[in-house]
Structure 1
Amino acid sequence: MLAGAPAARLGRKEEAAATPSASAAAGQATAPATPGSGEAADSGEAAGSGEAAGAASVAVADIPVGGAARTTDPATGDAVYVLQPEQGRYTALSALCPHARCVVDAPVDGKLVCPCHNSEFDADTGALLQGPATSGLARYGITRSGDRLRLGAQES
């Protein structure tokens, strides 16, 4: 278990690749981030096939309502959750706690909890609910293309 502790802290691509959702997302392409909310609505729109190599996407079917699929930010290798807080609405949040960069647990009862120091974050917005972290989780742009959600750039 100690050997995995540094890996859990960093949330890098190597660790994320061990999860089924990340393995399924490996090698998928992405479209540019949707400006604004960091969310993709369930519009069913299909985009063209011009996709950037090496970027991340997840299948809509892999994200249950109230749940998440884990993938990686192709620019940094950091862990990212793509979530469906309510039917047909999707968002993407960093899986790294801003306190000590531990990977937060998957959502349960609308919260993402850091296993290292118990910081809690809203699974819909990434907002900080309880410290010791002093800020919320970073948000990512996300777009829908057919039956896939494509991870965009991290938003400020």
Structure 2
Amino acid sequence: MTDPTSGTPRRTVLCGAAAALLTTGAATACSTETPAHQENTGPRGDIDLGDPEAVPVGGAKLYRTERVIVSRPKADVYEGRSAVCTHQACVVTEVNGTEAYCACHGSRFDATNGDVRHGPASVPLPPIPVGVRGGKLIATRA
């Protein structure tokens, strides 16, 4: 069957259109880092993360549902980071020791300071204030 307006075989028209859509979509999806306004997505305000002792001294813990990573460099010091990957806004899938891993595209981050250890992400995980209040670990997201 041919396209009545151009005389081109219908299969050629459809295949060309599909290729154009796929190429455009792939280039758009992979060409940019996550916009700054999306990096810190997740629940807003004070977020109760529970027992501060759940974060190991010298390590970090992922709170995936809350989209927060908390590290604990010293017994009384807690530091928070967004757990939203800066490559394409997937939520980090695991933290081992002080390394955060995003399974979507393989990015790895230093969970203590947010630095990128392995791309495709090139932007660090942004900080989120955390502290202990009333015996609970609390993250605050504006």
**What's the counterpart of residue 63 of structure 2?**
70
Of 114-123 and 100-109, the range deviating more from structure 2: 100-109
Partner of 1:152, secondary structure, is strand
**Gap regions ≥5 residues in structure 1:** 1-10, 14-28, 31-54, 74-78
Name the CA distance, whole Å, in 2 between partners of 1:69 and 1:120. 13
Displaced runs of 4 or more, over 3 A = none
* Post-superposition offset of 1:81: 2.1
Please identify which structure carries the higher helix content.
2
**What's the counterpart of residue 89 of structure 2?**
101
Work out whether 1:112 is the aligned partner of 2:100: yes
How do residues 80-91 of structure 1 correspond to structure 2 at under 5 angstroms? 80-91=68-79
Of 58-67 and 110-119, the range deviating more from structure 2: 58-67
**What's the counterpart of residue 58 of structure 1?**
50
* Post-superposition offset of 1:148: 1.3
Which structure has more relative contact order (CA 8 Å, sep 6+)? It is 1
2:116 partner amino acid: L
RMSD of equivalent CA atoms: 2.6
The TM-score, its normalising length taken from structure 2, stands at: 0.58
- Contact (CA 8 Å) 1:57, 1:148: kept in 2 or not? yes
Partner of 1:83, secondary structure, is strand
* Post-superposition offset of 1:67: 3.1
Name the CA distance, whole Å, in 2 between partners of 1:96 and 1:137. 7
Name the CA distance, whole Å, in 2 between partners of 1:114 and 1:84. 20
The TM-score, its normalising length taken from structure 1, stands at: 0.54
- Which of 98, 107, 111 is equivalent to 1:123? 111
* Post-superposition offset of 1:72: 5.2
What percent identity do the matched residue pairs reach? 29
Question: Given the superposition, is the C-alpha separation of residues 108 and 135 from structure 1 closer, same or farther in structure 2, using an over 3 Å criterion?
Answer: same
Name the CA distance, whole Å, in 1 between partners of 2:138 and 2:97. 25
